[in-house]
Structure 1
Amino acid sequence: MSVLPGTEHQPHARAVLAAAFADGGAPSHAYLFQGPPGSGKRTVARALATALLSETHDGRAVDRDDVAARVARGSHPDLTWVRPTGAGEMRVGDIDEAVVQAVANRPFEATRRVFVLERAHAMNDAAANRLLKTLEEPPAYVVLVLLSERPGELLTTIRSRCQSVRFDALPEDELVARLTRETPADERTARACARLGLGDALLARSLAGDDGRILRTAAESLARHALGGAPGMPPWRTMSEAAAERGKAAGALVEREAAEIAERLPDRERKRIERDAKDDAKRAVRRERTAALDAALRLAGLWFRDVAAVRVGADDAVHHVDRLDALREDAARTEPHRALAAVDVVDETRRSLRRNATEDLQLDAMSVRLRAALGHR
Structure 2
Amino acid sequence: MQGFQKVVGHQEIITHLQNAISMNKVSHAYLFGGESGSGKKMMASLFAMTLQCEKHGVEPCMECPSCKKAQSQNHPDIIYVKHEKPNTISIDEIREQLINDVMIKPYSSPYKIYIIDEAQKLTLQAQNALLKTIEEPPAYAVVMLLADNPDALLPTISSRCVQLNLKPVGDQLVKDYLMNEMHVPDYQAEVDASLAQGNIGKAERIARSPEYEETLESALRMAKYADSMPLYEIVETIKKLTAEKDNIDDYFDIFSLWFRDVLLFKATKEVDSLVFKQELNGIRERANKSSYEGLEKIIEAIQKARARLNANVNFDLTMELMFLTMKEN
Identical-pair percentage = 26
Report matched runs for 1:279-290 at 5 Å.
Answer: 289=246
Query: How does 1:183-262 map onto structure 2 within 5 Å?
Result: 186-208=185-207, 209-227=209-227, 229-231=228-230, 233-235=232-234, 237-238=236-237, 241=240, 244-245=243-244
Give the C-alpha shift of residue 90 in structure 1: 1.9
Query: Shift in Å at residue 75 of structure 1?
Result: 0.5
Q: 2:111–2:140: 8 Å Cα contact kept in structure 1?
A: yes
Letter of the structure 1 residue corresponding to residue 286 of structure 2: D
Q: 2:58: which partner in 1?
A: none
Q: Which of these residues, 294, 298, 301, is aligned with residue 256 of structure 2?
A: 301
Structure-to-structure mapping, 1:1-377, within 5 angstroms? 5=5, 9-23=9-23, 25-55=24-54, 64-180=63-179, 186-208=185-207, 209-227=209-227, 229-231=228-230, 233-235=232-234, 237-238=236-237, 241=240, 244-245=243-244, 289=246, 292-312=247-267, 313-373=269-329
Q: Is the 8 A contact 1:103 1:142 kept in 2?
A: yes
Q: What per-residue deviation string (whole Å, max 9, x for no partner) do you get for residues 179-231 of structure 1?
A: 3466685332332222223233333333332232232223212211124x243
Q: Would the aligned equivalents of 2:54 and 2:64 in 1 still touch at CA under 8 Å? A: no
Residue type of the alignment partner of 2:221: S
Q: Distance in 2 between matches of 1:218 and 1:105?
A: 54
CA distances 1:243-297 after superposition (whole Å, capped 9, x unpaired): 635x6xxxxxxxxxxxxxxxxxxxxxxxxxxxxxxxxxxxxxxxxx3xx324312
Q: How many Å apart are 1:101 and its aligned residue?
A: 1.0
Q: Which amino acid aligns with 2:326?
A: L
Instruction: Please report how far the alpha carbon of residue 235 of structure 1 lies from its aligned counterpart in structure 2 after TM superposition.
Output: 4.8
Separation in structure 1 between the aligned mates of residue 87 and residue 274 of structure 2, nearest angstrom: 33
* Unaligned ranges ≥5, structure 1: 57-61, 248-288
Amino acid paired to 1:47: L
Most deviating of 154-163 and 292-301 = 292-301
Deviation at 1:29, TM superposition (A): 0.9
Q: For 2:216, give the aligned amino acid.
A: R
Q: Distance between the aligned counterparts of 1:331 and 1:47, measured in 2?
A: 47
Deviation at residue 169 of structure 1 after TM alignment = 2.0
Q: In structure 2, what is the Cα distance between the partners aligned to 1:243 and 1:183?
A: 32
Counterpart CA distance in 2 for 1:341 and 1:233 is 23
Residues 53 and 64, structure 2, Cα contact 8 Å, conserved in 1: no
Moved over 6 A (4+): none
Shift of 1:237: 4.5
Amino acid in the other structure paired with 1:75:
N
Deviations 1:73-131 (A, max 9, x none): 11011110124432232222332211111101111111211111111112121221121
After superposition, the Cα gap between the structure-2 partners of 1:133 and 1:170, relative to the gap in structure 1 and judged at 3 Å, is: same
> Tell me, what secondary structure is at the counterpart of 1:146?
strand
> SS of 2:145's equivalent?
strand
Q: Report the CA distance shift for 1:79/1:140 in structure 2 as closer, same or farther (over 3 A).
A: same
Tell me how many residue pairs correspond in the alignment. 321
> Structure 1 124/322 Cα, relative in aligned 2: closer, same or farther at 3 Å?
farther
CA distance in 2, matches of 1:357, 1:187: 40
TM (norm. structure 2) is 0.85
| One-letter amino acid of the counterpart of residue 19, structure 2 | A
Inter-CA distance 125–7: structure 2 relative to 1 (3 Å threshold): same
2:131, 2:154 → 1: CA distance?
A: 10
